[in-house]
Amino acid sequence: MDRSKLYRRFRTLLIANRGEIACRVIRTARAMGLRTVAVYSEADRDAMHVALADEAVLLGPARARDSYLNVERLIEAAKKTGAEAVHPGYGFLSENAEFAQACYDAGLVFVGPTAAMMTAMGSKSGSKGLMEKAGVPLVPGYHGEAQDDATLSKAADKIGFPILVKASAGGGGRGMRIVRSAAELGPAIVSAKREAKAAFGDDRMLIEKYVDNPRHIEVQIVGDSHGNLLSLFERECTLQRRHQKVIEEAPSPTLNAAQRETVCAAARKAAGAVNYVGAGTIEFVSDGKDVFFIEMNTRLQVEHPVTELITGIDLVEWQLRVAFGEALPLKQDEIKLNGHAVEARVYAENPTKNFMPSVGRISTWRLPAETGGLRIDAGYREGDTVSPYYDAMLAKMIAWAPTRDVAIDRLNRGLEDSDVRGIVTNIPFLSALITHPKVRANAIDTGFIERELSALTSAAAAPGELELCAAVAAIVADERQADASSPWHTFGWQPVGRRQRNFAFRVGHGPEQKIALNYGSGPSTLVIGERELAFAIVPKDGGFDLTLDGIKSPVAAVIDGHELYLRTRNGRFDLHWVDPFGGETEEQTGADKIAAPLPGTVVAVLAEEGAKLEKGAPILTLEVMKMEQTLRAPYAGVLKSIKCRVGDIVQEGIELAVVEPSEE
């Protein structure tokens, strides 16, 4: 390959991605004086990354394969805008060798490794072969070319269950299944292949021994075109769910200094096997004693900010400088480890409903300021719409501190001070996770979240006296703000005597809780049962300070009709304000309705009409936000009808199948 085409200085950069990573790359590129070009789908016309870039090009329809995964349209967008280079971000085409080659063939600088390096190391199967030759320790497994069922089944039997079936291409837990018996193998392979094909366009599988109680350790490496290859310490990403990382930290609290040097040296050796150029990550799994190579990600990782915070290095800037053809600015012994950093991924999903993705318009977006060691990498703003077509990650919150304990405390405070409404997020779950005593003690493995799920998603505390008073205060403050000219703007105004206004609130379908507001001549008070409380409100951004009997408490509040969201020192609360004039209507949705929980695509029909089904039997599978959701029989009965076909795009709430309950 012509080196002058691979690495050269450029002025205009196209970012072939969306969301948080596109915004992240644009910010560093612009700080370096580069002109930036965003690309977008029809679903992302008003997205944050489009607004941040100097120019933006429409690629096509919402579905990724028609827009962000369309190589020809991406190359055409670069040519139209005069872009000389392409940054792929992560996900989508970031590890697609054909895309890297297409950029080179079009005369574009690809900010990443060459197609050959990507092919060698981006394939989990291919990279394992290279590592075996290089003497890097591997997890026992099969990573051959033959992909027929008989070969995979024979390999699984030889390795011994439990095993891990996973896609050779891509990452992020897509196309990955734990299989604990031979009976589970066939369905797991079919499902994993289908998911891998949809996510990466490649359904090749590999099989490896599943390490029980494992820890996930990875090393950040960066190489330049002058033969320099550096490691930037390691990260620990053990807190995972469905093989997707939830919390990441650097450095690993599990390794001592000697182990750290050993694993970093192994990572440099692994990347050196292909003379790697660009940013990448060497991933290892540890059984508590030994560390085994599992794969290399030939791209920037979602969790790269924790490495940036402990090293003071902007990895995107280094990526761009390497693409310019420059040598890395530091030597290995000049990279110093400073403090500890922890990152949490904020997703639009509902942890209490099996992490079902949440879509809709973000009506409220309040995140704390990036001060005191807190960093926020976001891809959304208030008013943006979360669509069902892409990954559900909204933002990353990262905290740095001199020690791990303080970093955890700072991250938790940042999460506790965040209010996102209009969609459901995993913020309360993240807060519960990082403050769990076993997480703080580092007594975890990759199965920790699944084991502790009920505790981490336990029901919120019932609203108490503070919350009921805050609910009334929020309504009154909202009414005062809506009509500042009214004499009611002053609490004490009343021509004659005292008046009482009664309120009732409930949580979900729970009992009503009542509170009264006394106002008129004299100070206003709140009455709960036999208690009468003096109160005062001082408005501030996002809520108010509420003083009850001389104790001041900050309250965050959002009112949407009769729905109230409150955040107090006791946590987050969703209350329904019962209409004092009646007229309460509630849609009753039966638990027996087999309907699309969100917009999605039918990818598999798993039962035939007329079949007798046990309760919980799988009926069909939807792909929603790049994840598969299987809909199951709500009770034993007969599958009377299926109202969809594979490939159908269905909207939220649409009935997809009918089960006639058995007489029993």
Domain with CATH 2.40.50.100 in the chain: 594-661
pLDDT at 289: 73
For the domain 220-241+252-456, what is the CATH superfamily, name and number?
A: ATP-grasp fold, B domain (3.30.470.20)
Q: Is 394 helix (H, G, I), strand (E, B) or coil?
A: strand
pLDDT at 484: 60
**Contact at 8 Å (CB) between 13 and 86?**
yes
Q: Which CATH architecture has domain 140-209?
A: 2-Layer Sandwich (3.30)
Mean pLDDT value of segment 419-440: 97
Backbone dihedral angles phi then psi of residue 177, each to the nearest 5 degrees: -140, 140
Count of beta carbons in the 10 Å neighbourhood of residue 506: 14
pLDDT band at 70 (very low <50, low <70, confident <90, very high): very high
- Catalytic site residue from 299, 321, 410, 421: 299
Which stretch of 182-186, 592-596, 651-655 has the lowest confidence by average pLDDT? 592-596
| pLDDT score of 608 more than 50 | yes
Mean pLDDT value of segment 599-603: 86
- Residue 299 a catalytic site member: yes
DSSP state of 382: T
What are 289-313's pLDDT values in tens digits?
778 888 899 999 999 999 999 999 9
Q: 99 has which bridge partners?
A: none
Q: Which of 280, 270, 260 is nearest to 137 (CA)?
A: 270
Q: Is the dihedral of CA 394, 627, 169, 213 positive or negative?
A: positive
Pick 628 or 65 by higher pLDDT: 65
Domain with CATH 3.30.470.20 in the chain: 220-241+252-456
Pick 256 or 498 by higher pLDDT: 256
| DSSP H/E element including 24 | helix 19-31
pLDDT at 350: 93
Spatial distance between the Cα atoms of 78 and 112, rounded to a whole number of angstroms? 17
Pick 587 or 296 by higher pLDDT: 296
Spatial distance between the Cα atoms of 37 and 15, rounded to a whole number of angstroms? 6
Query: Helix crossing, 149-159 with 182-200: angle to 10°?
Result: 120
| DSSP H/E element including 40 | strand 35-41
Q: Is the dihedral of CA 266, 271, 275, 279 positive or negative?
A: negative
Percent of the chain whose predicted confidence (pLDDT) is above 70: 94
DSSP state of 597: S
Spatial distance between the Cα atoms of 428 and 247, rounded to a whole number of angstroms? 14
What are 335-360's pLDDT values in tens digits?
999 999 999 999 999 999 889 889 99
Q: Is the dihedral of CA 143, 148, 153, 158 positive or negative?
A: negative
Class of domain 465-577: alpha beta
**Contact at 8 Å (CB) between 535 and 545?**
no
pLDDT at 589: 38
Q: 366 has which bridge partners?
A: 419
Instruction: Write down the pTM of the prediction.
Output: 0.82
Report the b/e string of 434-445 with b at 16+ CB within 10 A: bebeebeeeebb
| pLDDT score of 116 more than 70 | yes
The domain defined by 3-111 folds into Rossmann fold (3.40.50)
Q: Which of 18-32, 153-167, 501-515 has the highest mean pLDDT?
A: 18-32
**Contact at 8 Å (CB) between 75 and 14?**
no
Spatial distance between the Cα atoms of 564 and 75, rounded to a whole number of angstroms? 48
Spatial distance between the Cα atoms of 470 and 127, rounded to a whole number of angstroms? 58
Paired tokens of 512: 């009503």
Domain with CATH 3.40.50.20 in the chain: 3-111
pLDDT at 485: 56
CATH for 594-661, options being 2.40.50.100, 2.10.25.10, 3.40.50.720, 3.40.50.300: 2.40.50.100
pLDDT band at 242 (very low <50, low <70, confident <90, very high): confident
